[in-house]
Structure 1
Amino acid sequence: MNSTTSTIDDASRLDLRKQALCDAEMRQAHYLSHPVVTDSLHLATEPVKEVFEVVQHLIIHRFPGSPFIGAFRMGKTHTIQILCDELRRIFPKLAIGTLIAKKHDKPTEKAFWGDALDDYEHGASLYGTAPERRRRFMSMIVSAVLSVKGDQYVFFVDEGQCWTLSEWVWMRDLTNDLKRRGIRTTTIVFAHEELNVLRDMLISTGRTDLIGRFFHTPYVFRGLRNESELQSMMQCLDDPSKHEHPCGSGICMSEFFLPAAYCAGWRLATEAPHLWAAFGQVAARQGRIAKDIGMQWVMSSIRAWLFIVANYDSADFKSPPDSWVEAIGASTYQASLQ
């Protein structure tokens, strides 16, 4: 039975490979849904692994929470998705959810709970008074914990710098009420450096209730800092066991775009020195040094480069001169340094 299954699997895999690499019509369909093209690829980079170790520690020891603070375009939203997926795998009795902090000119509790319900795709996010919406959201959290037979809930808050003192007080009250119901919470905040302004204000005014609950120990959420980290990340795109498309085809991210080059031994990871040097060259135009490069800029550059060089695919493929600089230009990285 196992031998037959293996043969069928191999046949299916070969069929998928032919579709994705040789059949023009099917290749176009797979191209349009490709994770690189749709910007839906989640990579566990070194910075992401560092964050995971901290988050895992906070959860195991049931700390109330801490913020991760980094510049824009560091890949915070994608990191949250990776963390959620991995935590659910490791901790099956852990309930998890993500709130996306919204900025309002005049924050109201009604809008706050409406936003929270909407983040959880609740159909009644626009209906009811503030207390009704709050009870609705509370019920969702309690149900989620009961459904996994646990006693702990992890909130991820994305764009945490958007909330004012009022929103954090409402969040504090929610976690207090959950605790009274036997549910311990951990709140992991991802935010831009603007969050430091709020944290400093809370410290200066003695708001230890909020500092201890959400902002006790800030951690830096960084980008890629050297060529070695960049190369390690790019190696993931060369490995079908980590990322493949179409699913079950055994075609890694780089092979899909440059199949002849890949078959002849070329790997995207060998381009890391060229990409890192190109980032340095572009940064120098602004009198800056390339450091802490966010995943938005890295993946946008790789995506643009793959689009540029796809027509150059061959067994003796070599990266065209200045193609990486051109690709970085398409990512708007230089504009972010101004």
Structure 2
Amino acid sequence: MSLEIPRPIDPSLHPLVSGNYRIATPAIEAFYELVMRCLRYRIMGALIYGPSRIGKTRAIEYVRLLLARDYPKMTTYHAQCEHKPRHAEGPFFANLLEAVGDYDPNAGTNPSRRMRLALRIREAAARAGSGTVLLFCDEAQRYNENEYEWLRDVHDALDRQQIKLFTFLVGQQELLSQKTALQIAGKTQIVARLMVEELSFYGIRNAEDVATCLNGYDQTAYPEGGEWTFTRFYIPQAFDSGYRLVSDADTLWQAFEAAHHKANLAGRLAIPMESFARAVEIVLKESELRDSAGYCPEAALWTYAVQHCGYVQSRHATGRVLVAAA
């Protein structure tokens, strides 16, 4: 029985148990390519927009991991834009100070917070040995025009100190409407600094996307550099006899498609990463007890996993239509 086969780590510490792992999707790869393009061409700001719960926050975390691996001298930050009844300068700068690791983000006057924010970023850039800093603003549709102006001020202050700040505004589709409204209002200075490039973020849109993601489980090892991929960790006998999750890409896509149509959900199917990952986790955890040489999950197990991964439930709860990009 596979549970008796010794694993390199305690199974309770595996990332699949904690949920602390990231699998690349075609949309995440497009996001990373956008970041690379902005860095290469010195484009200081971009919009990444898409429906809620499609995986944008996970994408930011994954892109930051890739940047840390490929460009260790670059400094990156992830700011979570907060919903505020009043768009005041103090909370705005406190939020950014928290994102850059300030020890007391709420302390001081507004001018002192502005100065401290630039100082913290400058210190981090000096430690890292690069004058390039990337700021990912999550749920950026919560910003208003004043906050975009303050963000532009931060850019200008750092620019005077030879630090290039690249800002990626990540949020829902309202972001695109905000850009249009700013253009109509003649606020071109905001658009030209923070909103030059655009990327429509999407879920998993077809069987090929499913295969790309499943391949991540088949290829990603934990501990890193070892032979225990995520798939092998749960079903080592099946894995060693040739089974790979990627071979079930069509089956999983069809299971999501069937659930989508059965629930009469509007729009084309685009699977959020959260639902997708949970379905795969269910299959691996259920398969662990059934593992044997020659084992492969039955189609019924994939159907069961889709039923319990929360896809239909979350769509009904939000009442939102996930529109896949063309």
Backbone CA RMSD of aligned residues: 2.2
2:202 alignment partner AA: R
CA-CA distance at 1:35 after TM superposition: 1.4
Unaligned runs of 5+ in 2: 317-326
Q: Is the 8 Å Cα contact of residues 101 and 159 (structure 1) preserved in structure 2?
A: yes
Which residue of 272, 277, 298 maps to 1:299? Answer: 277
SS in 2 for 1:68: strand
Q: Which residue of 2 aligns with 1:335?
A: 313
Q: Which has the larger radius of gyration?
A: 1
Amino acid at match of 2:249: A
Is residue 2:242 matched to residue 1:258? no
1: distance between equivalents of 2:223 and 2:164? 40
Distance (Å, rounded) in 2 between the aligned partners of 1:139 and 1:108:
21
The runs of 5 or more residues in structure 1 that have no matched partner are 1-17
**Which digits, 9 at most, give the CA deviation of each residue in 1:101-131, with x for residues without a partner?**
1111112211112111222332112322222
| Counterpart mapping for 1:1-338 below 5 A | 22-23=5-6, 30-239=10-219, 243-247=220-224, 249-288=226-265, 291-338=269-316
- Cα displacement (A) at 1:198: 2.1
TM-score norm. by structure 1 comes to: 0.85
How many angstroms apart in 2 are the aligned matches of 1:332 and 1:273? 20
Q: How far, CA to CA, are the matches of 1:136 and 1:324 in structure 2? A: 52
Equivalent residue number for residue 324 of structure 2: none
- Distance in 1 between residues matched to 2:275 and 2:196, nearest whole Å: 30
Shift of 1:277: 0.4
Pairwise CA distance, 1:87: 2.5
Cα 1:90–1:257 change in 2 (3 A) is: closer
2:94 and 2:124 map into 1 onto residues whose CA distance is 18
1:14 aligned residue: none
TM-score normalised per structure 2: 0.88
Q: Deviations over 1:279-298 (max 9, x none)?
A: 10000023346533221121
Deviations 1:31-73 (A, max 9, x none): 2221122112122222222221221111111112110111222
The offset of 1:249, in angstroms, is 4.1
Partner SS, residue 218 of structure 1? strand
Give identity over the alignment, percent: 24
- Equivalent residue, structure 1, for 2:320: none
Are the counterparts in 2 of residues 280 and 290 from structure 1 also a CA contact under 8 Å?
Answer: no
C-alpha contact (below 8 Å) 2:251/2:299 kept by paired residues: no
